[in-house]
Structure formats: structure tokens, C-alpha cells
Structure 1
Amino acid sequence: MRLHGALAPRRRAPRPRGPLARLRLPERPPRPCRRGSPHRPRRPGPPRLPGRAERPGSAPGLLRFSARPLRHVAPAPRGPARAGLVGRLPRFERRPVRVGLLTTSFPQRRGDPCGVFVHGFAKALASRGHEVEVLAPEPATGVVPTFTDVSVEWVPYLRPRHLQRTFYGAGVPDNLRRQPGAWLGLAPFTVQLTRTAKRRAPRWDALVSHWALPSALAAAAARGPRPHLAVFHSADLFLLERLPLRQQLAQKIAAGTSSLLFVSPDHRARFLKLLPALARSEAAGRAHVCPMGVDPPGPGTEGRRALRKRLGFDRFTILSLGRLVPIKGLDQAIRAVAGQDAELVLAGEGPEQGALASLGRKTGARVRFVGLVSGDEKTDYLAAADAFVLPSRPEPNGRDEGVPTALLEALAAGLPVVASRTGGIPSIIEDEDNGLLVAPGDATALAEALRRLAADRNLRRRLARRGAKVGALYTWPELAPNLEALLRE
């Protein structure tokens, strides 16, 4: 007598052997542990995004826009959830790629702030083992520099060379407003950049363009089947919104990219608003938001007390980093410091330096101009200062800030920040949490915020501690894996 019936063996479906099978990821991870093991892995679920309730130090208000849940670009939390934000790439895709990077700004010398975050972007990809070749406008004067971490080809666009004044300096918008001859270089540079990109593209695996006008248009013409990541900043979006054929140009840019990256949620919304409904819904799924990164803060060359003595900081010292241009609103900082027992240190260069110095003498404010600082010198100033101020304001023509990298550097260095509620700044700073926000152009509110910081050491420590956690999320080593993932799309 047979206790068990003869059951037909269960047939397993044949496993596909084609290339698509190799692309498919397993639905669940292997289970190396036996049932009941305390180290049994958890069943995978949807990636956990860093929210304010879960992560007290996460960046407040930073939105992660994507219709596909595994394509978020914002900084990932530390630990196992990090890989879930961008999706795990198959191992065979983790190979070095050759990246062509098109830009309208790049450092011309060591410590040059022009396009410093573009250089940081290129170095971040190079640190992941990729080969990066940069195409940038040739400077008007001087010997073009060479870099050891990336390859740079300087693109000439006007002759004689001294006529090349469209880029660098105070930036394209200010150059065009102050120098009528700067308009001469716009069309020739677009043509030359496109020609050079087409010539170099056969050896590239992917393209990145900084400043959509004209870099994204040139990259779209040269890309072929390659991925193309277009990175928008405030100046190019401002110019695009005011061109007669802005809708057609926005459609052309969106159609010529595989991914779009914006430095603030507001910039993303403004670009998508330029597109017609169908194109907007298609582009929204591959439009991401993430500020440009900064280098991790290093220790000062001396102890803080010795640094302050060497730099001559003998009272409450407020630091500002950046170009001396109207959009930075530094005249409001000078008015706010007037009458206080504090000193404002302006580290940077620009066309407004004379007017700001005159205003300082007129108001009696203690203002010190230290010029351009970089490297260890910048680190020392950040370590020795008591607070950081960023009183940016929209210009009369409507142009506003993105997310200044100086703000992220100050946060990462542990400085309490007072900034204006404009542009992309509120996407990083949450008032009374990791900084203080005031209305743009309100010198009275700015002065009151600075007085609060000077009088309340506990407030400074709390803002510095919370701000440092946010700043650490936007260093290039943290952002590089997510930027790399966008080049795989």
C-alpha cells in the first residue's frame, strides 16, 4: 500500500538566457541565513526618503522630483537606504565612462571662483574613475591653465583674442549689461562649441552641459545616442525666460537631453512652465533638483584662537564670501552692521567694491575687504569667523540667486548663517532651524538677526550644529554617486 500518490514533479519555467535576463535585478536578495537566524535580512521595500521627522539634520524643503521612485538625486542618507535612492546599478554597468563636459565658465587659475563648482563637478566624476574632458571658452588674456584631474580644451571664438569678453569676470549677465561688445561673442561661441563637441563626441560615452544656453544646445547637436545631462543655473534660466522663442528653445533643450538637473525647486518649476503640456509631463519625470556641491571642510591651519589673533578678529566677526556684484546685496549687510560692535569681512572681488567701500565710510560700519581667498586661506577665514551673512536680493530685472556654493561652504564649516529668503536659499535654510532668514532688501531685519547671533551664544551653537549636518549632505563625495547615476539614464 502506497501512502503517498505518485506526484508529477513540478516543472520550473525555463530561465531566459538572453541579454535582457542579465539586466533584470533579483526581486529579493539571497537568504544566506537559516530560518530563525537573528541576522536574517529584511524583505526589501520602497526606499525610505530622508524626511524631517526621520532625519533631524536633513536638508529642509529640498524636493526630489521624479516620476520614477529610484531616480532621486538629492543627497542620500547614510547607511543601507542610500543605494535605494538612485537604484542599484548592475555590476557590469559600473565601468569608467568618458564624459564630455560643456560649459561657459571654468577656473582660469588656482583659486579662481569663476565656474569653481563646474570644476568640482568634473573632479567628482573623475574621483569615481571616469575620464572627463571639459570644453570651455578661451579666456581673453593670459596663459590658459592646465589641470591634472581633468582634461580641458579651451574653445576660441573671436579674433583678435582680446575681444573674447562675453564670459568670465562678473558673469555673462553683468558682462552683457556693462560691456556692449560682450554681445559679439554669443553666436560665434555657440557655433565653435558645437563644432568642437561634434569633433570630440565620438570618443565620449556621455555628455554633461552646464548653463543650458548655449551649452545644452551644443551638446544636443553632438550627442547622438549618448546620455546627456543638462545642468541649469540661475543666469541661463533667466535669459531663456526673456527670449522671444523661449518655448521653442525650452522644447529643443528638453528633447535633446536624457536628464535635467536644477539647483532649486523654483528653477525646475520655472523651466517646466515654459514647456507645453505634453512636453512638460514628459520632461517632469526626468527633471531633478540638487544644488552644486562643495569640497568637504578641512581643519584650519592653526587653532581658532591663534587664527583670530593672526587675522585680527577682535570682535564679533561676520564673513561673506562671493563676487562683489549687486545681486549679493552686500550694501544691505554694510548698513546692518553700522552702529554694531561687529566687523564685516568681505572676501571676494567684483565691480561693486568701490561703491561698497564708499558706503562703509559713509555709514561708519567696520568693513574689511580681503580680496579673493581660496584653499587654506578660505578655510582659515571660515574657521575664525563668528557668523556668515548672505543678504542676496532679486535684481530689478527679475534675476535672482540659485543656491550659492558659499552658503553650503559656510554650513559645512559650522558657521551660523543669516540669509535672505530669495531664490533657492529657502530650499536649504529653514528659518530658526539651521539658520535665520530675513526678507530680501530689509536692512533693519538683517541687523536685528545679526544682533541676536552676537548676543546669544547658545543660538549660534544650535544653528551651527544643525547647519553642519545639512552642509555635510552637499559635499562632492556625497553627491558624486547620484550624479554618476544620472549619466546611466
Structure 2
Amino acid sequence: MNILLLTSEYAPMRGGIGTYAREIAAAATQLGAKVTMVAPDYGEDTSVADQASPFPVHRFSGGLHSARDLPAKIMLARSRIGAAPFDVVHAADWPFFIPVALARGRTPARVLMTVHGTEINETQTALKRLAIRCSGVFGPRTEVAANSRFTRDLFREKFNIEERRIHAIRLGVSDFWSGRRKDQAAVRAHREIDADRIVMVTVARITRRKGHHLTLEALARLPDELRRRITWLVIGPEGEADYVNDVKRLIQTSDCDVRLLGALSNEDIRDLYGAADFFCLTGLPESSGRVEGFGLVYLEAGAAGLPSIASDIGGVPDAVVAGESGLLVQPRVDMIASVIQQIAEDGDLRARLAAGARAHARDLSWERCAAETYHLPRPQSPARIEAISA
């Protein structure tokens, strides 16, 4: 199978869509497909990383998408789609939907577009709806892959498309997150965290919709003895300056051990997962239309053996299985405080949820995601063959 994958976000830029494009392409390659990646260069020389890629990466001049980039992307899509006999043309995100739709007459290939959540609401303006309709983006040849059941249902609510042409295909998680990491005691010692501390970790940009303030207020409501035993590690870059300042003021006036560690490498994050007891990210809905389409970070933490506390919003229930890989909660301070206390005080519960988190992460591999997305056969492991035979 010959696949052309076009994305407006890719390494070295860090983000969920870039991770999706890279991982699904690598998994499809592992399953025997030939993948050609088309991605922006961000004005950087990416040749060393691209040469190490298991699939060819063709860079175009540009960075994060803006409306003025659309004409260039239309020309780019026409050029790339006509360059080879592709079996699948895959627009990995919204900025390539219109360009691919306008160029599909140049190929008999299966046309696939992936929706991630927020862009569904962002395309509801009159001008964007007109552009989508006039270009026939979701016409009869287009298939849509949604990253969760929530995203699928939101898409069907906003766009008229037959049920058979849209499928909820949950994202995957890289084997990296279950890989080797530094010794827990060594990591804790390096961070000056005592062995008897209960360590909670969050990985997310410090922005209002991620709900750091809810978690902090929930910690403040815990019984004094328990609260003073918890260390909260907050990993991620800073978002809105006013919100970050508010969070920092709350930390200074709280009786909580909160460490703002900033953006870290994936290797450092994996080590800290190994040093922690549970993951917590309590996002909240936004009136702006931004949504949590899936929640890949919960899977990454789960692969590393951490159960999650997560808000029951958007597509998060596909990433965190309630009562099996973590605890889902409404984004209310009192309810968040209750589940933090529950998981912090109950080691047996943490162990059971940790085992479930690892199992859920194993089930949601990128290989599975690529196979479902591109209709690729998956080789059966000896364990699977034995289970089927039994």
C-alpha cells in the first residue's frame, strides 16, 4: 500500500497532531506500507532527523498554519498527489482538508481526513462552512477518521455525512513510554523527594482549560496530614501569562508541596512517571469551542504504569477507562479532592488501576491505530494465535 500523508504540524514542533502523524506513519511502515510524509520545515534544517526517519519526509517552507498559507497548500497538494500512484491520500489535520479535496480529481486513491476535536467547532463560521461546501471537502469520496467517540459524534452533529464514512479510531501510544527508565529512588533523590512521599504528576501546558487551579484548590481541601504528604510535580510550558501568575500566587499561599518543573524532555518525563504514584489532569470545558478530543498524555502515563485522575469531558473516557485505568470525575473542586484522597490513601486501588492502565495502553498501540485507519493486516503474535486457538 502506498500512502501519502500531509500534515501542517510535525517535529521539531511538539504537539498532539505532530505526534499522531509521526507515529501512525511509523506504524504503517512497520506493517509493510510505503508512507510519504509531507510536513512544514519551520524554517529549520531538519535533514538529519528526516534522514533517520523510517519513511521519507518531504518538507515545505512554512510553520504553524494561517489562512494566508492556503493557496500554497493547495498547490502543494496538487503537486504531491499527482507525483505517484497512491492508494491512500491522508490529510492528518484540518489545514490540508480543502487542499486535498481540491486535488482528489488527480488520483483514484482513497481519500482520508482525520478530525481531532477542536477544529470541528472552529470551522463553524459562515465563511469556513462556505469554503468547505464549495470545495466538497466531505463529499462522497471522503472518509473521516475521528480520534474518539466524542469527536465522531461532535462531527456528525455539525456536518451531514453518512455514518458509514466516519469511524472513531482511538489514538495509540508509543512503546517509548513503557521503556527503560531511571531507578525510582535515584529520580526521587535527584528531585529531593523523600521515599515516603505520595507523588502526583501532571503533564500539560499551564493554561486555564487544563484546570491546574482546580487541582490546586482540591489539594488545599484535603485533610492536613494527607495534604502534607503529597508532592505535586507540574510539567509543561507556561500558557496565558495572567493565568500562570494566578496559579503561582495560589501556590505561594497554599500549604502544598507543588513543583513547577517547566517543559522537560520525554526521557525526563518518563523517569518522573516512574518516580510518581499517580497522574492527575483535571481539564474543564471551554466556551471558546476548544475541546479535549482524546487525551494522549493519559495513555502515555498509563503505559509507564500510572493510573490517572481525569475530568470526564470530551474524548477523555476513550483514553481513561473509568474504574479500570483511572478515575473519571466531573471538573469540580470537591469531587476532585475526593478522588485524590481516595487514590492517595488506597495503595491497593492504585496498584489495580496501574495494572489496568498498562493493559489499556497495550491494547491501544499505534500499530492497531494504523491498521484500523489504513485497513492494513496485522501480524498475529504467538500469544494472540494461542488465545484464538483456545
TM-score interval, smaller chain: 0.7 to 0.9
User: For residues 238 and 277 of structure 2, what CA distance do their matches in structure 1 show?
Assistant: 24
- Aligned equivalent of 1:273, options 157, 162, 165: 157
Q: How is 1:28-177 mapped onto 2 (pairs within 5 angstroms)?
A: 96-97=1-2, 99-108=3-12, 115-139=18-42, 142-144=44-46, 146-147=49-50, 148-149=52-53, 150-156=55-61, 166-167=64-65
- Name the Cα RMSD after superposition: 2.6
Name the CA distance, whole Å, in 1 between partners of 2:153 and 2:28.
27
Q: Deviations over 1:135-191 (max 9, x none)?
A: 33342x54445422233333335xxxxxx6x54xxxxxxxxxxxxxxxxx31x2111
Q: CA deviation at 1:113?
A: 6.4
Query: Are 2:106 and 1:227 aligned?
Result: no
Larger radius of gyration: 1
The DSSP-based 3-state class of the residue aligned with 2:358 is helix
Aligned amino acid, residue 72 of structure 2: Q
Note closer, same or farther for the CA distance 1:245–1:306 as it changes in structure 2 (3 Å cut).
closer
Q: Which one of the candidate residues 338, 341, 358 is aligned to 1:451? A: 341
Please say which of residues 345-354 and 443-452 is displaced more in the overlay. 345-354
Aligned residues: 357
1:258/1:246 CA distance change after superposition, 3 Å: closer
TM-score, reference length from structure 2:
0.83
Residues 391 and 321 (structure 1), Cα distance of their counterparts in 2 relative to 1, 3 Å cut: same
Q: 1:232 to 1:450 in 2, by over 3 A?
A: same
| SS at structure 1 position matched to 2:57 | strand
Are the structure 2 counterparts of residues 136 and 358 from structure 1 closer, same or farther at C-alpha, using a change threshold of 3 Å?
Answer: farther
Counterpart of 1:195 (choices 72, 75, 80) is 75
Partner of 2:382: none
Alpha-carbon distance in structure 2 between the residues aligned to 1:247 and 1:194: 17
2:356 is matched with which residue? 466
> Whole-Å Cα distance in 1 between the matches of residues 376 and 291 of structure 2?
27
Post-superposition offset of 1:375: 3.6
Q: 2:293 aligns with which of 402, 425, 450?
A: 402
Using the TM superposition, give the Cα deviation of residue 485 of structure 1 relative to its aligned residue in structure 2, in angstroms: 0.6
- CA 268–486 in structure 1, closer or farther in 2 if over 3 Å, else same: farther
1 CA distance for matches of 2:357 and 2:133?
A: 35
Distance 1:132-1:430 versus aligned 2 partners, 3 A rule: closer
Aligned AA (1:124):
A
Higher strand residue share: 2
Shift of 1:312: 3.0
- Where 2:298 maps in the other structure, the secondary structure is helix
Is residue 117–residue 294 contact of structure 1 (8 Å, CA) maintained in 2?
no
Q: Which has the higher helix share?
A: 2
Q: What is the aligned counterpart of 2:250 among 359, 364, 371?
A: 359
Residue identity opposite 2:235 in structure 1: A
1:373, CA displacement in angstroms? 2.8
> What is residue 483 of structure 1 aligned with on the other side?
373
1: CA distance between counterparts of 2:165 and 2:185?
49
Q: Provide structure 1 residue ranges, at least 5 long, that are not aligned to the other structure.
A: 1-95, 158-163, 168-184
Letter in structure 1 aligned against 2:80: R
Residues 411 and 464 in structure 1, CA contact (< 8 A), matched pair in contact too: yes
For residue 285 of structure 1, report the CA deviation from its aligned partner.
Answer: 0.6
Cα deviation, residue 354, structure 1 = 4.3
AA aligned opposite 1:151 = P
Deviation at 1:361, TM superposition (A): 1.5
Specify the code of the residue in structure 2 equivalent to 1:453.
I
Matched residues in 1 for 2:17 and 2:245: separation? 21
* Sequence identity percentage: 24
**Using a 3 Å threshold, how does the CA distance of structure 1 residues 356 and 120 change in structure 2: closer, same or farther?**
farther
Q: Relative to 1, partners in 2 of residues 1:135 and 1:350: Cα closer, same or farther, differing over 3 Å?
A: farther
CA distance in 2, matches of 1:483, 1:312: 45
Residue 320 of structure 1 aligns with which residue?
A: 202
1:22-52 CA-partner distances (Å, limit 9, x unpaired): xxxxxxxxxxxxxxxxxxxxxxxxxxxxxxx
Read off the aligned partner of 1:268 and give its amino acid letter. R
Q: Would you say the 8 A contact 2:6–2:38 is kept in 1?
A: yes
Q: Output the CA distance in 2 between the equivalents of 1:409 and 1:383.
A: 12
1:437 corresponds to which of 312, 323, 328:
328
In structure 2, distance between residues paired with 1:204 and 1:227: 11
**Match for residue 350 of structure 1?**
238
Q: Is structure 2 residue 139 aligned with structure 1 residue 255?
A: yes
Return closer, same or farther for 1:257/1:390 CA change in 2, 3 Å cut-off.
Answer: farther
Question: Matched residues in 2 for 1:326 and 1:245: separation?
Answer: 27
- Tell me the amino acid that sits aligned with residue 464 of structure 1: A
- C-alpha contact 1:156 1:189 (8 A) present in aligned 2: no
1:303 aligned onto 2:207: no
CA distance in 1, matches of 2:89, 2:218: 45
Task: Tell me, yes or no, if the aligned pair for 2:17 and 2:93 is still in contact at 8 Å.
Answer: no
Question: Aligned pair in 2 of structure 1 residues 245, 377: CA closer, same or farther (>3 Å)?
Answer: closer
1:435-456 CA-to-partner distances (Å, cap 9, x unmatched) read 111112x122112211111111
